[in-house]
Amino acid sequence: MLSIITLFICYLVMILASILSKKTISDREKNSPYECGFDPKGSSRLPFSLRFFLIAVIFLIFDVEITLLLPIASIFDITNMFSWLFTSTLFLIILLGGLYYEWIQGALEWSK
């Protein structure tokens, strides 16, 4: 019974939020890009470079992996030498394998 009441309250809150959050007035000036009060000279929807996006995503992935590598040096004294060496070597091999794969696929070349 408690779960039915909880679901009902959640459903009621979602409906209420959906009704209250809708904008009823659609103004042309509010929907247009803002350039210091002047009409825009060009299109505000310029095509986005997919190559730049791919390089940015690869950078983020390798940046997160570097932050995962940092604690390896700090746990050297705490853990067993074999397990530390095996784990760090395996992680670096996977990281370098991913880098090699990206290089072979040509994702790291800026101009193509």
Kindly state the average pLDDT of the residues 87-110.
87
End-to-end CA distance of the chain: 62
Token output for 37: 């009060």
Give 105's Cβ-side CA count (13 Å radius). Answer: 12
pLDDT band at 97 (very low <50, low <70, confident <90, very high): very high
Taking CA 33 as the corner, what is the angle to CA 27 and CA 34, rounded to the nearest 5 degrees? Answer: 100
Look at 5-14, 63-72, 96-105 and tell me which has the smallest mean pLDDT. Answer: 63-72
The residues, any chain, with a CB within 8 Å of residue 75's CB and separated by 6 or more, are: 84
pTM check: above 0.75: no
On the question of pLDDT at 28 being above 80, the answer is no
SS (H, E, C) 12-24: HHHHHHHHHHCCC
